[in-house]
Chains A and B, each alone.
Chain A
């Protein structure tokens, strides 16, 4: 397997587990300056939102977010070749396993966390060590200049991408245990007038998934690489892997090494340095012992860092033609509120009168236009007709429903139209009008689960929960809701109507318990619209779910009922009856029991504060 060749020839994408916006943005900037046409980061598996905004070049775009790797759509499979795991050490094993189970064709990844338990790291080594390239646990990732940046490697600032010449492939492989030193070495290579062929930070943990031997073998087999720069530290025995490779002739390219940690000799006892592995447990793990062994085996291993840099200068030089990067234009980019589409075509002005005559318009034109604006796609006549019917039926349902009452009370308090309408709309919720969306969620879940209606009802109503879309205060079996009956006719013009059928099946279960538990307007609107969108507009299950998550279905109530509320407002303004006050006898049912303050306090003492009465003073 020659992974570097794959990377340089392909257009591989990555999926990020967790979120580290700084690192993700730096990868996108790297893609852009490397001349890629599309971002390499395909999605985040993180959090509860659907997308997060990033820049690709100077343009903002939405990077999709998914709740789990299992939820990433199939369409990602061909390009998703890399994992960038920035989750905590506790979750690393589980999330890495889940990623490679979901994407068996993936090539590898990077694990950013520093506190991965040794046992977990070893399980990852066993599972993926032979077959995949995984940088870490810990460290900063993998870099193939011009092709792939997986992690913080090479820095996250725009100037750093330019300074490290990350868009320009070269001939020097940079390998280090330390993240900071990986970047220091990339900078040093560039300062010496050379460019990097690839860089992999194996991390400072004890058990890196991809071992030093694996990385150096990659470098040896890579045609682009002519020399290797390595930084290691005291502790552990990785450097003996280099010694073994050199001695067995498996590593023939020049390798310049620095093993840090002679400072340990200044202390009475061996000290634990920053990285987990950086502690001398045996004599042969000291910086000096490892450096001497490397030098003896034929590596270039100077004593001081300055001498080390001098040796880097002597490594072969590849011809580099640097990409000119306009960093300035990227640095001045501005974040904005994202709106990706025009809701309506502002250029297209409808003409209703031409040549002194009315022009024949599209049937149910307003419903169709409203729907198209909301959904962002054209709709069929059938769908437009259903929505027109819904709009007309839901326009108003009398002045005694709670939203209308609030509108009227507000109007009579002398408020304006918007305030009155708003107070009516603010009443819309689970018990009034706002149940359409929840009903849609219930029917969708029911159809998707394939469960039998009685079991579904049993599960859903356990613990006294209500089924939204079912039940009415006034109508019951024998007194059907005429609006439901009218809408139900739409089922007859559809080939299939699984949601409507499911809703009816539920109704037959619930009415068996109570005659009032009939399919109500919210329920039938939700069911028929789901069926209509699926059959007529080609909505997939996932797209329907997306509409539910966005609360689209409640719009079918809010739009027409706003008209109804305005009508009630206008009527109140016409009548101008003055401030409304609820008659006292309606509110204070025990008004005659009202007592004097003295009596009340006596009563309180007697009842130890467990009294319940209403004070009429407010």
Chain B
């Protein structure tokens, strides 16, 4: 549950309604005539500098540009009518939900590169009913600000950036817009945006996709990122905070380049869910070309995730490939605490000893980073 990127197409459709003439590609229909702006719609930062925007071009040229972008691995594009304007008509405008209300950043004078001139940016905190007075001080059209704030709240936006915002005699044009929505708000927005409208990031590793699919079917939290598929350190971490502490240790020990994956399971997954999660990590580990490999099963002292139950799931996954793990010289290093800790650790120790893949095993009476330290040493030798 977090802030996630909405496609520019959907963001503008929400903000502008039927008056928005943008076309989302490849789903939409290519226009024949007119001058257009073509761009990649995948939440990429600094699109213009990366050459992912084509301004004032014909439909044919746009098709050519998109074909080039496709070769670079992008798949989602946006075509908008070209709005001729002067550079001094350009303003920077952003809204972010903060504890005190909505933080608005704005540059009154147009054509400023805000990254080069942060001092030009005016900050306002908008609280309920403040819109009119802030419109006055900022010089923004009052009806524009009122409507944008209303949409920002109704549609559970968390962040909105319009850069540039073109203001011509009271009329506003949203040239480029980036929106982050609060994913927890999806249920309450009545389909103004759905999962489908979130930005598709670059092609994922198959294991990551599988864990995402699994995570969608359980109240527990399961996350996996493949960082270096030929790395030597494989991590089966538990707990949102504890997993970062363990990963930090890798970075602090200067072993970041060895780290193959990052992720965590928490929130009390069942034995079966833990098995499916662990199986992906084990498969990744067997596929890695690294000469020296170790698996780290680590986490803090859980509050309610059952150590025994989750360890039974992990053991199921390890057992399937035990012979291969042994042949590859892989060792398993463990540090974990929580409900049923003693029983869970004993089961794990017996199993790892029997299969001759035990690196070390620790409980809550040792420091959380013990197992990862020993694993780093093992992989480095």
Contacts and interface: CB of A to CB of B under 8 A. Distances in A.
Nearest to A177: B241
Given A156-B339, A279-B3, A274 B301 contact: no
Contact of A305 (B188, B225, B238, B369): B369
A23 interface: yes
A211 B339 CA distance: 29
Contacts of B267: 114
A153 interface: yes
Contacts of B300: 178, 180-181, 183-184
Nearest to B223: A274
Nearest to B239: A180
B241 A263 contact: no
A116 interface: yes
Given A118-B97, A118-B158, A119-B182, A181 B339 contact: no
Contacts of A159: 341-342
A464 B187 CA distance: 38
Contacts of B252: 262, 303-304
Given A119-B156, A180-B266, A181-B241, A89 B184 contact: yes
B219 to A, nearest CB: 9
Interface string A252-276: 0000001011110111000111111
Given A152-B304, A183-B300, A266 B245 contact: no
Contact of A155 (B156, B247, B303): B303
A78 interface: no
A178 B240 CA distance: 7
Contacts of B368: 184, 305
Interface in A169-209: 176-184, 186-188, 191, 204-207
Task: Pick the 6 closest A-B CB pairs, nearest first.
Answer: A178-B241, A274-B240, A180-B239, A184-B300, A181-B241, A157-B339
Given A122-B99, A159-B341, A279-B2, A179 B156 contact: no
Given A152-B304, A263-B247, A118 B367 contact: no
A90 B187 CA distance: 8
A154 interface: yes
Contacts of A184: 241-242, 245, 300-301, 337, 368
Contacts of B183: 115
A440 interface: no
A298 interface: no
A514 interface: no
Interface string B297-309: 0011111100000
Contacts of A231: 241
Q: Interface residue tally of chain B, by bracket?
A: 35 or more
A305 B1 contact: no
Interface stretch (B66-74, B142-150, B163-171, B256-264): B256-264
A163 interface: yes
Given A117-B184, A306-B369, A263 B299 contact: no
B338 A157 contact: yes
Given A181-B245, A274-B243, A305-B369, 13 more contacts: A117-B185, A125-B99, A152-B303, A155-B301, A156-B303, A156-B339, A180-B240, A183-B337, A183-B338, A263-B262, A279-B3, A287-B248, A305-B367
Interface string B267-302: 100000000000000000000000000000001111
Contact of A267 (B156, B227, B340): B227
Nearest to B366: A191
Nearest to A89: B184
Contacts of B338: 155, 157, 160, 183
A305 B251 contact: no
Count chain B CB atoms within 10 A of each CB in A125, A155, A191 and give the residue with the most: A155
B366 to A, nearest CB: 9
B148 to A, nearest CB: 16
Contacts of B365: 191
Nearest to B255: A266
A22 interface: yes
B249 A154 contact: no
A278 interface: yes
Contact of A309 (B156, B239, B367): B367
Contacts of A309: 367
A211 B256 CA distance: 33
A157 to B, nearest CB: 4
Contacts of A122: 97, 99
Nearest to B238: A180
Contacts of A180: 238-242, 266, 299-303
Count chain B CB atoms within 10 A of each CB in A181, A205, A267, A306 and give the residue with the most: A181
Contacts of B227: 266-267
28 contacts: A90-B188, A115-B1, A117-B184, A118-B156, A119-B97, A119-B182, A119-B185, A122-B97, A155-B339, A156-B303, A157-B340, A178-B240, A179-B239, A184-B241, A184-B242, A184-B245, A184-B301, A184-B368, A233-B241, A260-B245, A260-B248, A262-B248, A263-B244, A263-B248, A265-B251, A266-B256, A271-B262, A304-B369
Contacts of B187: 90
B138 interface: no
A301 interface: no
Contact of B256 (A163, A179, A204, A263): A263
A266 B259 contact: yes
Contacts of A160: 301, 338-339, 341
B46 to A, nearest CB: 12
Interface in B1-22: 1-3
Contact of A89 (B1, B240, B340): B1
B250 interface: yes
B241 A176 contact: yes
A90 B183 CA distance: 12
B249 A304 contact: yes
A263 B188 CA distance: 35
A154 B364 CA distance: 13
Given A22-B304, A274-B266, A304-B249, A204 B241 contact: yes
Contacts of A258: 245
